[in-house]
Structure 1
């Protein structure tokens, strides 16, 4: 075997073990007995120790050096690029720190879930402070003298920097704020009201997931506190949540996660268990979930089809027809929860978190002051006060999991989705007719062919530029939002 072949054999074993560790995390969120939490923390820490040892194995450095002299194709060169980057990063993080983080975040997740249920930030603050301290240490080790937050961000969006993202988000903010104010000054459409059986919601969610191309033979749909996607290849699992008073929460959380899952299911099979066998970045990943959820799932055409399915399942919705249903799906409304936010206000939720977590990692904000800082910023951005911690600082799972640097990729994904939607509609001029018939094959097929199949083959921005034929910018997203909601609200 060549050095490259030996390296890839080793990487595939590591990738398979990482999938096993991921399955432990999925089980923790969905089916694990509550009393198993402490044991699971030790199991995850042990798996992380094994994975860290493999990712820092000195043989990788030898294989990389030898393989660099071999004649490799585009895929081989991309594999080495990812492996070299991962190897260099892994070697900067002490093994004990990696293990301690895995153990701590598993425990922190349990504490967060209980604190959220009890609306008690003080119960979560001590363990969050420990997580923040370890993430500062990890970031400093990775940064090697550079920006600590950028080093953490690089785990989720390689090549991006907080300064670049802040500039993009700064360009988003003025037009979003102006659109939000203009819409909220108008009369609001009627919301969907009533009680909707939660088992029926799950039934409809499974139907919609299949409509969007999610292969149930290679996945499953369960419930969790916070919807998420886990796995890749032939085992990609998603979760959603139900609320008897709000079926849209379940449906659109499902469609969102289906976007993530279809990306993973569509990656070329030959990349399985290798660095190319997963989404290239969380920004690109989020572009898939957001275009599935919003530009496709909340379109006038698709909601017409969805209206018929819901009336078949739940009877008369008391909403006044498909057009009123479309308005209800896209209703702009004040709310606390990021995952339930409308398209116009969603990014304002993300920017709040982006600024707060940058301050936490920099040491400019301490955990003891986080709840007050959150509430102050929220009131400033949204014009009303947070009513309870579960609607504020405790609503998201990310910080308990140590995912600092993750939040900005949500807004970056929205920007990418805006660019992809523009290109998709140019490629499929009769897209609305297809969506109105519940036919997502060409839409999701275009995304599969132009984005998803490549996995990690190209750099994140290059994937979007290749699909769209131009460099990504915030303009297509803003143009789409202003056109859509301008028409809905008669602006």
Structure 2
């Protein structure tokens, strides 16, 4: 009998069951955002808390520690499996079971309260729930940090190895060039045309489905629905996406869909042998975001692909009269004053993330009281963007993240942009005729390169290793900033 081999197999069998239960938990979250009856919110909070209790018990089962001590890894895949399981066990063991259940219950409840508060622009209605979520997540962070920085511990949930200091340094390097570029394009004599007209929900959704198909989304293993805040959920054989529709702004729907397809294709592209194991999902939210952002921006907002999209819009909306492909490309990429992060152009997007990063750090540390959050948001927004917030749904209530406890998640959006810039540079070298293919609506070469070099690995490598192996160099912000300056100086004729 090989005790070490038996221990590894026993551990993996146990882990697969835990991963399956985690997928069920994720499905409950998807249902809550899409089809759950409004009156079910209180019951759903109890359901999710109960399931989290089961999951926490499994993640902290003392047999895991014994199996880890005995298990032998015969190859790099097995070593990576053990690395992830050990990390998960260590982190879960530091969090009391009652705290894990309380977080699940509070975030499930807060999510529904946030949606109602956002719809009615009633910040006060949401603040008590937000305070509860922050208090609980701060406790979690303190348990995980073991005397170190609680916010760093929360960030590590989404981007292993990242810290507030490293992320803050990244933002400090990015901000000057982004602010300078934004000022130049907003003051440029040439300004692209704004989009005008009304575009039916049905027409937008037909194009959204075509876009998902064009980017390789596997409909046999997914579905597209509507939600207040677009998201992707699931992994392996069940990866679902949502979008939203505003009839005066079809780009919101189209690019939210492409963005979520990027997330979904990452999950669908992982080696199926890793299914229901720690390697069977994206390795970090930064790497995840690199896929959604390169799909959405470097590919989906490129001159070549927007030319193809223009043809789709003309066929779907006969009254649409954008004069030519070059003008349409400018319209798609127009830099304009706006409130909403998910609708922000590439130049300003990271500035929206920086605002949230600084505020949530202050919330977790206790330097910013929840009661003062709206005023702090509004003051910071006016200072950063030059105009006031007009209503809470365009300000502090616009994102779902804090209601569901995702503190430490926001900076991974910018890290994903940085990774996407590096991947795009490498992709262009690998596929020199990329634009000719994108002009035909054909993304297969680009998405295939990403699948082979990033997606299929799942959690096999660390986040930094995944990107550096794909690109041939260590990730840094230079390629992203160079891409933005080249693109937008051309559009604005600077």
**Is TM (by shorter chain) over 0.5?**
yes
Structure 2 unpaired stretches of 5+:
none
Secondary structure of 1:154's partner?
helix
Q: What secondary structure sits across from 1:306 in the alignment?
A: helix
Which of 194, 199, 202 is residue 196 of structure 1 equivalent to? 199
Q: Given the alignment of the two structures, is residue 120 of structure 1 paired with residue 130 of structure 2, yes or no?
A: no
Give matches, 1:438-477, under 5 Å: 438-477=441-480
Q: Does 1:286 align with 2:262?
A: no
Whole-Å separation in 2 of the counterparts to 1:412 and 1:105: 25
Task: Answer yes or no: is the 8 Å Cα contact 1:189–1:331 preserved in 2.
Answer: yes
When residues 71 and 371 of structure 1 are mapped into structure 2, their CA distance, relative to the original with a 3 A threshold, is closer
2:60 is aligned, of 50, 56, 59, to 56
Kept after mapping to 1: 8 A contact 2:283/2:462? yes
- What root-mean-square deviation, in Å, do the aligned CA atoms of Structure 1 and Structure 2 show? 0.6
Match of 2:10?
6
- CA contact under 8 A between 1:105 and 1:402: conserved in structure 2? yes
Spell out, residue by residue over 1:186-206, the C-alpha distance to the aligned partner (whole angstroms, 9 max, x if none).
Answer: 142111111101011111100
Assess if the C-alpha contact under 8 Å between 1:190 and 1:319 holds in 2: no
Q: What residue is the counterpart of 1:169 in the other structure?
A: 171
Distance 2:441 2:393 in 1: 36
* Alignment map for 1:35-434 (pairs within 5 Å): 35-67=39-71, 70-186=72-188, 187-434=190-437
CA distance in structure 1 between the aligned counterparts of 2:143 and 2:77, rounded to whole angstroms:
30
**Which SS does the other structure have where 2:157 is aligned?**
coil
Q: Deviations over 1:408-455 (max 9, x none)?
A: 000000000000000000101110000001110000000000000000
| In 2, Cα distance between equivalents of 1:128 and 1:375 | 17
In the TM superposition, residue 316 of structure 1 has moved relative to its aligned partner by 3.8
Does the aligned pair in 1 maintain the 2:26–2:234 contact within 8 Å?
yes
Deviation sequence 1:354-376 (CA, Å, 0-9, x none): 00000000110010000000000
1:24 maps to 28
Q: Could you tell me how far 1:146 is from its partner in structure 2?
A: 1.1
Q: 1:287 touches 1:416 (CA, 8 Å); kept in 2?
A: yes
Q: Distance in 2 between matches of 1:255 and 1:313?
A: 18
Aligned to 1:15: 19
Give unpaired runs (5+ residues) of structure 1: none
Contact 2:73 2:79 in 1 (8 A): no
Please tell me whether the aligned partners of residues 263 and 448 of structure 1 are also in contact (alpha carbons under 8 angstroms). Answer: yes
SS at match of 2:350: helix
CA separation in 1, counterparts of 2:330 and 2:322? 10
Between the aligned partners of 2:485 and 2:440, the Cα distance in structure 1 is: 26
Query: Would you identify which runs of 4 or more consecutive aligned residues in structure 1 move more than 4 Å?
Result: none
Question: What's the secondary structure of 2:234's corresponding residue?
Answer: strand
Deviation at 1:315, TM superposition (A): 1.3
What are the Cα deviations for residues 108-155 of structure 1, in whole angstroms up to 9, with x where unaligned?
Answer: 001100110110111111110111111110000000011110000000
Is contact 2:8–2:73 with CA below 8 Å preserved after alignment?
Answer: no
Matched residue SS, 1:2: helix
Q: Give the distance between the partners of 1:450 and 1:18, measured in 2 at CA.
A: 27
Q: 1:11 to 1:112 in 2, by over 3 A?
A: same
Q: Distance in 2 between matches of 1:362 and 1:426?
A: 44
1:71 deviates by: 4.4
Determine the C-alpha separation between the residues in 2 that align with 1:386 and 1:455: 40
TM (normalized to structure 1)?
0.99
